[in-house]
Chains A and B, each alone.
Chain A
Amino acid sequence: GAVVSQHPSRVICKSGTSVKIECRSLDFQATTMFWYRQFPKKSLMLMATSNEGSKATYEQGVEKDKFLINHASLTLSTLTVTSAHPEDSSFYICSASEGNEKLFFGSGTQLSVL
Chain B
Amino acid sequence: DQQVKQNSPSLSVQEGRISILNCDYTNSMFDYFLWYKKYPAEGPTFLISISSIKDKNEDGRFTVFLNKSAKHLSLHIVPSQPGDSAVYFCAATGGTSYGKLTFGQGTILTVHP
Measured CB to CB, the residues of A under 8 A from B are 4, 6, 9-10, 32, 34, 36, 42-46, 49, 91, 93, 95, 97, 101-108, 110
A105 interface neighbour in B4, B43, B104, Cβ under 8 Å: B43
Chain B contact residue count (CB 8 A cutoff): 21
> Which residues of chain B (92-107) have a CB below 8 Å from chain A?
99-106
Interface membership of B16, Cβ < 8 A: no
The A contact surface, by secondary structure, is strand
Sample of 19 further A-B pairs with CB below 8 A, known A34-B99, A34-B101, A46-B102:
A43-B89, A43-B103, A43-B105, A43-B106, A44-B44, A45-B103, A46-B100, A49-B99, A93-B44, A101-B32, A101-B51, A102-B34, A102-B46, A103-B46, A103-B101, A104-B46, A105-B45, A107-B43, A108-B41
Contact B32 A105 (CB under 8 A): no
Residues of B within 8 A of A (CB): 4, 32, 34, 36, 41-46, 49, 51, 89, 99-106
How many residue pairs bridge A and B at CB < 8 Å?
56
Q: Are B101 and A108 closer than 8 Å at their CB atoms?
A: no
Instruction: Indicate if the CB atoms of B41 and A44 lie closer than 8 Å.
Output: no
Nearest chain A CB to B40 CB, angstrom units: 9
A29 to chain B, nearest CB (A): 15
Q: Is the CB of B89 within 8 A of A49?
A: no
Distance A97 CA – B45 CA, assembled complex (angstroms): 13
Tell me the complex Cα distance, A9–B106, Å: 22
Given A44-B89, A102-B49, the answer on whether A49 and B100 have CB atoms closer than 8 Å is yes
Contact B100 A44 (CB under 8 A): no
Provided the pairs A34-B99, A101-B32 are in contact, do residues A106 and B43 lie with their beta carbons within 8 angstroms?
A: yes
CA distance A106 to B32 in the complex (A): 21
